[in-house]
Amino acid sequence: MSQDILKIPILILGCGNMLFGDDGFGPAVIEHLEAHHSVPETVLARDMGTSIKDFLFDLIISPVKPKRIFILDTICQSHRKAGELFEINLDQLPEGKTSDRPFHQFPSINQLHELGSLTGVDIRILVVQAKEIPDIVRPGLSSEVKEAIPKACDWLIKEIGTEII
């Protein structure tokens, strides 16, 4: 990881695999944000794909850390409507066993807990309810999740605007 990244106080990390339907939400938000919005130099938006676990580990052991991290990902919860956008608090994520959870390929929950609680980094997690995440390669977001992308960008811009650097 480049040490320059660590000097940026706000990171926006889009997680997911664009080859598996709605799992590509995080990267799609980053793409839309970069194409349609201007973010300050104090903010770095990055498509993490499926590599966020390694990145989080590097952050945990780094002596320099960002002030705030926004994570964008997909979630699968049966009581939610496809395309529903909502924030999850870090304390709502269970520590320990990470299989059999509704968070699909969610970033390492244990790493997020460690980064947030032990280092003081403010972690904000915005998720969208998936309509479908196929078991086989099938690129393309559902219309419901596509409609959530501009809303996610608006939320990010609003949250970044309230940040005092």
pLDDT tens sequence across 93-105: 655 434 444 454 4
| Predicted structure pTM score | 0.86
Q: Which fold has domain 3-161?
A: Rossmann fold (3.40.50)
Task: State the pLDDT confidence band at 7, using cuts at 50, 70 and 90.
Answer: confident
The two counts, helices (H) then strands (E), for the chain are 5, 5
How far apart CA 126 and CA 14 sit, in angstroms, is 10
Report the pLDDT value the prediction gives residue 1, as an integer from 0 to 100: 54
